[in-house]
A and B are shown apart, each in its own frame.
Chain A
Amino acid sequence: MREIKTVTILGANGAMGSGSAGVIAAFGGAKVHMLARDVEKAKQGIEAAVASVKTDTIRARMIPGSYDADLEKAVAESDWVFELVAESYEVKEPINTRIAKARRPGTIVSTVSSGLSIGRLAKAYDEDGQKHYYGTHFFNPPYKMILCELVTHSGNDKKVTQALGEYLDKVLGRAVVYTNDTPAFAGNRIGFQLMNEVAHFAEKYADKGGIALMDEIMSGYTGRAMGPLATADFVGLDVHKAIVDNIYDNTKDEAHETFKLPGYFQKLIDAGKLGMKSGGGLTKVVKHADGKREKFVYNIKTGEYDPYPKFDIPFIKEARQKIKDSDYKGAMDVVKKASGFEADIARYFISRYISYSLSLVGEVVDTKENTDGAMGFGFNWVPASAFVDFLGGPKETIKLMEQSKIPVPKLLKDAKEGKKFYELGDKLDARSLFKG
């Protein structure tokens, strides 16, 4: 396993930078150079890191510094340089040029990016640097969300990849998912496909309940703690846009059209309504004078906010009760047999999610365990393979896909009946991700 004693964090004051630094200093026991635009910001990053992993023991080995004064010296003595500066080539490339000049041979350099090309960023380095350059896509907050997508590119050395993967897994306690250098990698490609297509359906069914209805249909009984549109509101519509635009511009797959940003998302973004971080987006919460909070939802037709509605959809109620009783297959039977357009939509998206996840094996990842891990550990969504088992196996799942006119991935066509399809059960109990 690779020994990593000294690490430099660039972007130490951001939520991801400080959270990642906390994990590295605590689990890895490493000395960490915390670099930000100025030392004060770096000091704030150190306190945030301490708070994130709740141990004062790391404070003494975190050294604040600034890019201008300390980058070269810090990088020169580091075994790993972890860059988490703003998500654009314009910001990342000049920083990489400086790192490339200062790094010692053998030093690993990695970036957190939701979608930039790792291969392109690696170009700032010489041959040894390219060999040691990776995407290490941590999820927020890093201490709690243990997924790390380890993104490789064609210039990497398999031995270095293996050693880094082992370090991330065994020392830092990450659930490591290996992905290829493709737009948005595995987790975001799958997650944002679903979120964006659900957003389109919200527009299509704006008269029937729009955003709130879609989140109701895709609620906990479909294997996620938070509805897909609530998730988009949580991450921010601007971030959502950046991710889907990147995938739309750089991929051409069966779901290509579903990555187009819905018009009302753009409208909200233009109005500065970016989601929870800006006080409102797809939904908003208003605090009344008496201290009570009321939730509102954006009406796509009128552009106004309406009180968040409650729904009474019998099959969802029934499925939820089954989940509450830990009868997961029973819940899926309810979904399979239900009638009405809401049930059609539920079946469509369950099929789409499984189909799209499995279709990326071979392109984005090498095995389905990697997409399953990405969704289970990164999004807290029931992994596609586990869904296949809850639906009653490959044949039943294929039937559902065909009914919903969703392409059947080869992996599913080739799967053996009567054998568990989900293979991460010992690491992640998929049942825990259903909410009743």
Chain B
Amino acid sequence: MSEKVFVLGGEQTDFQRNWTKEGKTFMSMMREVLDDALEKVGISYDEIKRLNKENRVAVFVGNFDAEQYANQGHLGAFLTEVNPALFGVPGARYEAACASGSVALDAAITHIRAEDYDLAIVLGVEVMKTVSSSVGGDFLGTAAYYEKEAKGVQFPFPKLFGKLADVILERYELKEERFMDALAEISRINYANAKRNPKAQTRTWFMNKEHAMARGGDNNMAVGGRLCITDCSQVTDGAAVTILASKDYTKEYAKKTGRKIDDIPRVKGWGHRVAPITFEAKKQESVGDKYILPWTRQTVKDAYKRADMDVKNIDVFETHDCFTSSEYAAISAFGISEPGKEHIAIEEGTIDFGGKKPINPSGGLIGVGHPVGASGVRMMLDLYKQVTNTAGDYQVKGAKNGLMLNIGGSATTNFVFILGK
């Protein structure tokens, strides 16, 4: 596995941008991010034309809900609008709610592993500022079981992840104050990390522990049970690209760009599991299990097994912190702590930027922003930056292997990838 799929790099848009305000669309976003990514990686459109003649290149577009946000479907075909060099290149759109970027990555990885293509362009994209937050919240409800969990509910997802917080608290018999402090610390870390990331949505926003702890009131409203605004990631407009390649192509590429193939990271492991779609079913199924999200844990274990690795081998994590409660649950799913003891890892600084197992040095979804279909691709790009020592101000010192967890729905679709050199 680890000798089959390489990552050559990529680029993301500035997640602070509001493309509707700029008078631009998802299409202009795709154009900018792909142009930027190819320039950064050093692959020209002529090169794509050359590969296409031999049917060696394909594109994979991750997107959740362009139909509702932008009144446009069939996004997989839209790279042909970016540049005529992409005429004829196989391309399709992949959807799995917030894991849409990962399902696109998964398809690309699979095709390269099967030796169908030598180069795969994976582009995740979502415009979300086209509608008000309440309308957008309703759109997002389709990532849950809409009829049962979202219909008529204002902001359904904070409520679902608020329930996750409730279950964690009850099952592990935690002291509420200590648990809520740990969640606030997750929020604090993600915002602080995002300050170092020049593409992060929240890099100029104010946030500290004191504010994250001040739940309730007009300035940090409750939005889902115990969870308040500071516990949530926020939607934004954004796109990200990562470019994957086969070993043969990577050898050519390394030679052309004067790099050593050993310095180019490869996908070492992956996991993909789907849990029951409703949160209630997840809760019922996990009664008696050590893990509240056993399928998330299983996805991580699958990836470790395929990579022949364990938590001790991973230097940096990018996780799906759509809410502080989802990052909390991920800590034990990764194996950083025992289930029920996540708060200790947080209190001891293990997951902080300078800690032993840093999570989300980029800022995560809470700090970088969460353009739904782009998040998985952005996470892969951030792992690439970390393991190639090109993350700039948010570089984790000496990172060699990284793991990402991207989830769709209320931890329903789970994707994990391990990237390393």
Contact = CB atoms under 8 A, between A and B. Distances in A.
Given A57-B214, A435-B23, A325 B14 contact: no
A426 B220 CA distance: 31
Given A326-B24, A431-B32, A56 B219 contact: yes
B23 A324 contact: yes
Contacts of A26: 206, 208, 211
Nearest to A326: B28
A426 B36 CA distance: 12
A53 B220 CA distance: 12
Nearest to B30: A326
Given A27-B206, A326-B29, A326-B31, A436 B211 contact: no
Contact of A325 (B28, B204, B220): B28
Nearest to B206: A26
B22 interface: yes
Contact of A324 (B25, B198, B218): B25
Between A220, A323, A429, the greatest number of chain B beta carbons within 10 A of the residue's beta carbon is seen for A429
B213 to A, nearest CB: 8
Interface string A34-60: 000000000000000010011111000
A392 interface: no
B31 A29 contact: no
Contact of A432 (B22, B198, B208, B218): B22
* Prevailing SS type, chain B contact patch: loop
Interface string A423-436: 00011010110111
A220 B23 CA distance: 9
A143 interface: yes
B85 interface: no
Contacts of A27: 206
B198 A55 contact: no
B4 interface: no
Contacts of A243: none
Contacts of A324: 23-25, 28
Nearest to A29: B208
B211 A55 contact: yes
A431 B28 CA distance: 11
A55 to B, nearest CB: 5
A262 interface: no
Interface in A48-96: 50, 53-57
B49 interface: no
B173 interface: no
A173 interface: yes
Given A325-B27, A325-B31, A427 B198 contact: yes
A150 interface: no
A403 B54 CA distance: 48
A146 interface: yes
Given A426-B198, A436-B23, A56 B28 contact: no
B211 A57 contact: yes
A429 B14 contact: yes
Interface in B195-232: 195, 198, 204, 206, 208, 210-211, 214, 217-220
Interface in B121-140: none
Contacts of B198: 426-427
Nearest to A175: B204
Contacts of A220: 23
Contacts of B14: 429, 432
Contacts of B24: 323-326, 436
Given A27-B206, A435-B23, A56 B214 contact: yes
Contacts of A29: 208
B22 A435 contact: yes
Contacts of A429: 14, 17
A146 B22 contact: no
Contacts of B220: 55-56
B23 A53 contact: no
Contacts of B31: 325-327
Interface string B384-421: 00000000100000000000000000000000000000
Contacts of B218: 56
Nearest to A434: B22
A382 to B, nearest CB: 12
B28 A432 contact: no
Nearest to B81: A325
Between A27, A320, A325, the greatest number of chain B beta carbons within 10 A of the residue's beta carbon is seen for A325
A53 B31 CA distance: 35
Contacts of A431: 32
Between A54, A146, A326, the greatest number of chain B beta carbons within 10 A of the residue's beta carbon is seen for A326
Interface in B28-60: 28-29, 31-32
A177 to B, nearest CB: 16
A50 B220 CA distance: 12
Interface string A129-145: 00000000000000100
A378 to B, nearest CB: 14
Interface in B319-364: none
A55 B210 CA distance: 10
Interface string A394-436: 0000000000000000000000000000000011010110111
Between B21, B32, B206, B214, the greatest number of chain A beta carbons within 10 A of the residue's beta carbon is seen for B206
A6 B125 CA distance: 45
Given A56-B214, A432-B17, 17 more contacts: A26-B208, A29-B208, A50-B219, A53-B206, A54-B219, A55-B214, A57-B210, A57-B214, A320-B23, A324-B24, A325-B24, A327-B31, A426-B198, A429-B17, A432-B14, A435-B23, A436-B24
15 contacts: A23-B206, A26-B208, A57-B208, A146-B204, A220-B23, A323-B24, A324-B25, A324-B28, A325-B24, A426-B392, A429-B14, A432-B14, A434-B22, A436-B22, A436-B24
The 9 closest A-B pairs by CB, nearest first: A326-B28, A436-B23, A26-B206, A57-B210, A54-B219, A326-B31, A55-B211, A429-B14, A326-B32
